[in-house]
Amino acid sequence: MSSNAVVHDDSENFKILVATDLHLGFEEKNLVRADDTFNTFEEVLQLAVKHEVDFILLAGDLFHVNQPSVSSLERCISLLRHYCLGDKPINMEFVCDQAEVFKHCNNPIVNFEDQNLNVSIPVFSIHGNHDDPCGYREVSCMDLLSSMGLINYFGKQTNLQELKINPILLKKGSNKLAIYGLSHIRDERLERLFKEKKVFMNRPLEDVDDWFNIFVCHQNRVNRPGTKYLSEKCIPSHIMLTIWGHEHESLIDPVRGESNSGYICQPGSTVATSMCEGEAGNKYVGLLTISGKHFRMEPLELKTVRLMHFETVKLSECEEDVSTSKKTQEFVRRQIEDILSRLSLKYSGHNKQPKLPLIRLRVEYTNETQHFNGIQFGHEFQDRVANSNDMILLRMEKKSVQKKTRCIDDQVLSNIMDDEEMEKIEHIVDQYFRTASEENQLELLSVDGMAEAVDWLVNKSCHDAIKRVVEHQKKKMKNYVIKQEGLDENNISEHIISYHSSRTQKSKDEANDVREVLSSQQHTTQSYSDNDSNISPVNSDDEEISNNSSTSSVQNVRGKRGRGGRAPRATTRARGRARGQTTLRF
């Protein structure tokens, strides 16, 4: 097996279009950027038609949120219907137990064998951390598309005590292909399951060594401070190629993984969801050709992607006089003009490529006299840049930053400035309560319960999540206490402590309870404040703090590119108060 092996033009070869992290609906309320994700998605589908692929393989985050707007759903459905339904014959066989592979679906059948559908290009997709199931019955937009027969949704795990991954088995002539899908699972849990050897990849019973094995996942790939990740060493040796979603930086050329994990291909996102260096490069999808045990990955550069430029300027290294705010602005203005001039040479010429680029110029200053209002400055370029309000990021050079570790606010900011990425919310909450004093510990919720509530507040814009959860928990505690025998004013505290202790021992149950409470009362989750970012991750969705504004009520931070939690993040300032009065301040 070799990524550079010669693959003959044989009619029996598999041809697959590989993509990940399309984030449909990102910035859909931004009049300038509303069409970006859909234009690029259409280009991806057009490439699939042009190259006459057997199917499209997506590695998660088809949508930017798990409950997208009706408009986003309609546009996605229309594009899939237009490009993936038709009379083109399907020249491959689906030879595994469909009821097992699609057991989580209402219609457990591969769509090109459904008598009610006429599919020309099947789409196989796992879910990511942005379009993961939630709420009643644990469903998402992926289940909706599956029920409509537009995608084949696989890799969803319904039992998180142990993971049994059954592959999709496809045959085309003499070629045999096994695709193992693992939809997004919290990295902490996945790491624990691997350590406990509770992850099983079931291999085909027939001719086990004759299959080309692909693993599709959507997890953190890099070991970043404060976050867990899926180690490449966990990938079984029989996997020949891993398609890695969640990380937004495009590393489309397959590379050898650690140990015996075969090759790894990281296509990256098709749209920039965060203003970070990793997202500023060209965007690609891959044309994967498989012949026997050999494969070739051909990068296909996307032509409809909005141009993006990321650059850091240190005023301390500037040879010009930038001692005052006015002089600094003149210097920065020339930098922007130079960037625009360079970007003008990079347009693809595609009629749907946006004309206004994204620019992030990070200006590091050493003296407060050099500081200026970046938002006001950006107004000069509002007709020439797509993100004029956050084009300039002003921050003090690292050597001048006074780090503080006693409160969550400063710790988060310090991490962002030092490591240029945001820790996951659950890590921040867990870290705080691990180090908090006795008087600042939770008295109603467990740490997992609080982390779940904060996750909803930050990642799903459920602004009253904390209030709802605390009220719900107070009610449950009250019901528990009043049922206790011999209750009086002298032993109420003991019963409260007993209740909290029992909930802490069942913290995972409480986290699920919190999720159900919020899901049942959720009215809308489409409104995300994604000024700079996404999460990711990284990647896999990254963002940074913009200190242009004098107000600091809510500050946007870089998410992971794909990397971190399940959706665009905002900096959360959490601080324990008196017992039973834990409050999050924004």
3-state secondary structure of 517: helix
Taking the C-alpha atoms of residue 54 and residue 91, their distance in angstroms, rounded to an integer, is 7
Looking only at the bridges linking them, the beta strands covering 168-172 and 392-396 are: unpaired
CA neighbor of 239 nearest in space, from 165, 298, 185, 152: 165
Residue 264 tokens, joined: 């790894």
* Distance of alpha carbon 248 from alpha carbon 254, whole angstroms: 15
Q: In whole angstroms, how large is the CA radius of gyration of the chain? A: 25
Q: Looking at 81-121, which runs of residues are DSSP E strands?
A: 93-94
Picking from 23, 15, 127, 1, the residue whose alpha carbon sits closest to that of residue 536 is 23
Pair 428, 408: CB distance under 8 Å: yes
Catalytic residue among 104, 130, 309, 472: 130
DSSP-derived secondary structure letter, 556: B
Q: Do 412 and 364 contact (CB within 8 A), yes or no?
A: no
318: exposed, middle or buried (C-beta count within 10 Å: 0-12, 13-18, 19+)? middle
Q: Which residues contact residue 43 at a Cβ distance below 8 angstroms, ignoring those fewer than 6 apart?
A: 302, 303, 304, 350, 352
Distance CA 436, CA 431 (A): 9
| Cα 68 to Cα 66: distance, rounded to the nearest angstrom | 6
Is residue 523 part of the annotated active site? The answer reads: no
* Enzyme catalytic residues: 130
